[in-house]
Structure 1
Amino acid sequence: MFTIDYKVTISDINYGGHMGNERALLLFQQARVDLFKNLELSEINVGNGVGTIQKDAHVYYRGEVYLGDTLKVTIKALEIKKSSINFIYCVEKECGSVVLGGSTVIVAFDYEKKRVSRYPHEFLEKLESIFQ
């Protein structure tokens, strides 16, 4: 598992007075960015000039989030393949109630050649060491 804390700001709030639905994907992305940074990598380069690109996303809304809430955004698990990784997320309030769940499929992408690629073996090993 990999977890980050996130403080809800005014830019996260919509006209209904709670977090906008589109913000879920931003929370998921922030968790991935921080995970890659922890591995001394980035979404644009996970090794050998290979980056990542999002192919698919699912969000499950379980509760409302308000201005000032502190959230725990957790990448709970990974489903790793040679060219794609399915990231599984859980977002909780400080009290422990789950407010969001979801997943994103992130594909290895060679931005120079503009095509799907394979993830470098070293990158997959680093990920697996965290999620074993």
Structure 2
Amino acid sequence: MARVKITMPEHFTFRTNIPVRITDVNYGGHVGNDAILSIIHEARLHFLTAAGVKELDPGHTSLIMADAALVFKGEGFHGDVFTISVTATEFSAFGFELYYRITSDRDGRSFLIAEAKTGMLCFDYTVRKLARLPEGWEERLSQAK
């Protein structure tokens, strides 16, 4: 069976902490795969805010997710506080890639929970078409802390 592989960057510019909610836990007693995507969405908003970029900015350039890849590495549980490291790379005329590494410290050890990548495209909701990456975004996203 072919597996998804993500080549992760060596350095991440931004970190945020997100607690695992009981609603993130599935019938297996651990964080569900759907919850991981929601958690990286929240981390993305924290990252964009730190960069001074809005995901949805009516009348201006907004962002849409073109693709997502998730690789599960370990289990997360209710009560964990995930540390999500985020970085932006691979800028193009219309978008960029965001990479995420999710870890959790538990019982004096650090556990790798998941790695992910989302392809982000600039979008103009007024005309409902792709838009060019605004001037200054690459620098702001590359330096978000």
TM-score w.r.t. structure 1 length?
Answer: 0.90
Cα distance in structure 2, aligned partners of 1:84 and 1:26:
21
**Structure 1 gaps, min length 5:** none
Q: How do 1:7-18 residues align onto structure 2 when only pairs under 5 Å count?
A: 7-18=19-30
Provide runs of 4+ in structure 1 moved above 4 Å. none
Cα displacement string for residues 65-106 of structure 1 (whole angstroms, at most 9, x for unaligned residues): 111011101114522112121111100011322110010001
User: Contact 1:3 / 1:75 at 8 angstroms: preserved in 2?
Assistant: yes
Amino acid at match of 1:70: V
Kindly, what percent of the aligned residue pairs are identical? 25
Residue type of the partner of 1:110? Answer: D
Partner of 1:68: 79
Q: Distance in 1 between matches of 2:101 and 2:14?
A: 10
Structure 1 position 105 matched with structure 2 position 119 = yes
The equivalent of 2:5 in structure 1 is none
SS at match of 1:66: coil
Instruction: Give the counterpart of 2:92 among 81, 96, 117.
Output: 81
Q: Which residue of 1 aligns with 2:104?
A: 93
Seen in structure 2, the aligned counterparts of structure 1 residues 48 and 81 have a Cα distance that, compared at 3 Å, is farther
Specify the code of the residue in structure 2 equivalent to 1:32.
R
Aligned counterparts of 1:112 and 1:77: Cα–Cα separation in 2: 26
- Which residue does 2:32 correspond to in 1? 20
1:104-130 alpha-carbon deviations (Å, 9 max, x no partner): 001000011101111101222211233
- Correspondence 1:118-129 to 2 at 5 A: 118-129=132-143
1:34: which partner in 2?
A: 46
The aligned amino acid for 2:111 is: S
Which structure 2 segments of 5+ residues have no match? 1-12
Partners of 2:87 and 2:142 within 8 A in 1: no
CA RMSD of superposed structures (Å): 1.8
Q: Secondary structure at the match of 1:80?
A: coil
What's the counterpart of residue 56 of structure 2? 44
